[in-house]
Structure 1
């Protein structure tokens, strides 16, 4: 054994020397060394991966922007931008060309087929074309009775649990019940029963674990440790596989229905599309993931911010109750008249963006001009929502909730509202933008029409206590709901 010791020591020292040399190269001699950033982030991708898993990476990226400016290096081969013009440079088209997605981030599970979010440009164009009919104005009109029925059931359940304002209600839980229920119905006609049964559907309950696992795998893949981390957290991945298996069973029931429906996946079932069952399941998971928890987070964040700002709360309540004389007047179409509520939602998107991280792209081998600077080829680039939405160079009082900034109030005339793009820009922007605005305004309008709200714990630091794993890991938001007497 002793004759192996010198070899082992030499090998270990060589490995350590290589790692140190690589880190020194990354910091001082790498093509991105001209871009500023904290040394440990520039030296190794493990720093970024650690903070992704810790759930505070969005704060670290913002700190670096505060120290170094509008473009910072957050990993050896990755840059974050806080330029308004970078939206078009990174996510827009350049004479028919666009930056490719960084697929190590989007395809966290190599066994999962491509879907609307992870697909390459050609595949994405096909999927979007066939999904578009489900998000059209006609399709939304056809689905409105479904949405209204579920929103009415949500209000009924809140009324039952509120007990005339004497009982605490966790609105975050109920918003999640409703948004999963709505997106499940709209996507593939699933009846999840969260609202009816007053409890989580087992498959929906598994989504929380799924989001965290996906976040961990995205972090691991970004530093080439995907297979190792997948093995290390195999016990956590097992529930994700069960989650996918249950989803596949529900999708199978929908694909067996021969009558045409106005749901989202109807376009994917056409004979000329020729998608496998696995591809259909992958797209259903993507649509539900994008339209459920993030929507509930937006709703909860808006309500919390309004209750912490009584002047703004009074304005939105007055707008709702002066606009509608009866509950039946509150529809997907009529809520479009609620300008102050729309400003509240936009301010929540800025103040508390449901997706905090950047959606990464990769520059071509010849490089690209982003924000007026030449970025070397094969560089991962993104705009981090938390950073750009709290940049004092773009927003006055960025940590203050003021919907008036989206109503052209003179005191916010210096705000650069074009910096806010919660649904991204370009040909790959979020297909569900209009649905999201309509659904959230409908739920909030009904909520403020029916109830007076009060925080159960006014001192709770609800926003400050959260970690982010792709989306926020939002805690309970307990409040008292007192039905309005008319």
Structure 2
């Protein structure tokens, strides 16, 4: 077996689809390159990513994905076990339920601005690219919660901040680099990064400037405060602060905007489900002001729609590779030798008919105890991963998704433009999706 087919599938944006077809043909574990296995099962999630018993080694992250550029500082996503625990402790408070409540005025102000800007835009009687509007909102929210200073100003200007534009434009580049690195061909990209020739070099320059401004601004209850306050104790220089800040902004914005885009498309192509959601949202509130982070938590059908969207269109679509620990380990009943690269591909396990009734069907009722779907294995879906390195931003993601979707459904009747009817068809999948425009006609609800 050669490393090149896997690298080519990845670089072309088709790897998750290919792995899914392999699982359909060969079962829950498949070999996708000479030293790499893909698993599709709930048990594999626990075995690869879950908490370890006392004395057991964790499955370390694969450097070929997480440390492509070894000259760059590490962050919470690719640090060792000890450093990760210390970083996570300092970041945890900013992502707690209590912090979400404290940050509600900030989050709510941007969601209200999103609705206001959309009401202005629809007066032109043209469709709106909600992919961009969702990006504006989520980047502004995470930018303000990380750096203050009004976020990135995307909603205020109805346009991308230069940094946000760089992030959205490098999706394809990062996929190509990762794919070729898996094949041992990453050398030219490492050299180009050292020489400052890649787009992400401009991205890092802007982050360094933002972090410097944030450090100078003093104490502020945001995501970076814990790291800044403990930077001496944690041995975090400016480069490490900037790398962690960059990760927080990208992970806390692009994925949420992606899910909102996917949920919107799926709802608009299933009018009977959209109508039921409209009834739930519009009957629950007498005015827009009643829609808060707390009150949207009572919308059970909307949560089911979001969970089903996460299953059908997972924002992180590729596997998150780990490496078999010293001495090897058992994964889903299979012994894997030390050093073997392992992962669960969300696209594959979320569409595996062994765990889901009608896996290709968009069916929110499967999350509400519908008897037709009683055989579904709901814990096969782990959108935020599991274990000690699961996504720290889960609470923020759900808070934003619920509030934004509720506000849009309450305020607008939405219709998908014919130009976006095939939006989900043939999308390229790198670490995240390379999404086309999502053109939607919005009509303010008359009250």
TM-score interval, normalised by the smaller of the two chains? over 0.9
Equivalence for 1:385: 346
Distance 2:173 2:148 in 1: 26
| Superposed displacement of residue 239, structure 1 | 2.2
Distance 2:193 2:244 in 1: 25
Correspondence for 1:310 among 271, 292, 310: 271
Equivalence for 1:4: none
Pick 1 or 2: higher relative contact order, CA cutoff 8 A, min separation 6.
2
Q: Is the 8 A contact 1:217 1:230 kept in 2?
A: no
| Superposed displacement of residue 236, structure 1 | 9.6
Distance 2:176 2:224 in 1: 29
Cα shift readout 1:143-165 (whole Å, capped 9, x = no counterpart): 1111111111100111111117x
Distance 2:197 2:320 in 1: 23
1:111 aligns with 2:82: no
1:50 aligns with 2:11: no
Equivalence for 2:413: 452
Distance 1:234 1:452 in 2: 49
* SS, match of residue 23 in structure 2: helix
After TM superposition, the structure 1 stretch with the greater mean CA deviation from structure 2, 178-187 or 206-215, is 206-215
Q: Is the 8 A contact 2:193 2:201 kept in 1?
A: no
Distance 2:375 2:433 in 1: 29
Equivalence for 1:218: 178
Equivalence for 1:78: 36
Equivalence for 1:268: 227
Equivalence for 1:194: 154
After TM superposition, the structure 1 stretch with the greater mean CA deviation from structure 2, 224-233 or 98-107, is 224-233
Distance 2:226 2:192 in 1: 39
| Superposed displacement of residue 211, structure 1 | 3.0
Q: 1:278 to 1:233 in 2, by over 3 A?
A: closer
Q: 1:282 to 1:233 in 2, by over 3 A?
A: closer
Equivalence for 1:89: 47
1:228 aligns with 2:191: no
Gaps of 5+ in 1: 1-42
TM-score w.r.t. the length of structure 1 is 0.88
1:479 aligns with 2:437: no
Equivalence for 1:434: 395
Cα shift readout 1:252-295 (whole Å, capped 9, x = no counterpart): 1001112x211101000114334111001000111111111111
**Structural RMSD (CA):** 1.6
Cα shift readout 1:400-442 (whole Å, capped 9, x = no counterpart): 1011111110001111101010000001100010110111000
Distance 1:209 1:478 in 2: 19
Equivalence for 2:27: 69
Equivalence for 1:5: none
Q: Is the 8 A contact 1:423 1:430 kept in 2?
A: yes
Correspondence for 1:366 among 316, 320, 327: 327
Cα shift readout 1:150-189 (whole Å, capped 9, x = no counterpart): 111100111111117x221111110011111111111222
Q: 1:267 to 1:234 in 2, by over 3 A?
A: closer
Equivalence for 1:14: none
Q: 1:367 to 1:287 in 2, by over 3 A?
A: same
Q: 1:311 to 1:235 in 2, by over 3 A?
A: farther
Correspondence for 1:178 among 113, 116, 137: 137
Q: Is the 8 A contact 1:456 1:479 kept in 2?
A: yes
Equivalence for 2:105: 145
TM-score w.r.t. the length of structure 2 is 0.96
| Superposed displacement of residue 237, structure 1 | 4.4
Q: How many residues were matched structurally? A: 442
| Superposed displacement of residue 52, structure 1 | 0.8
Cα shift readout 1:219-252 (whole Å, capped 9, x = no counterpart): 2322222113445799994321111101110111
Cα shift readout 1:379-409 (whole Å, capped 9, x = no counterpart): 0111000000000111111111011111110
In our comparison, the structure showing a higher alpha carbon Rg is 1
Gaps of 5+ in 2: none
* SS, match of residue 95 in structure 1: coil
| Superposed displacement of residue 48, structure 1 | 0.9
Distance 1:341 1:401 in 2: 13
* SS, match of residue 100 in structure 1: coil
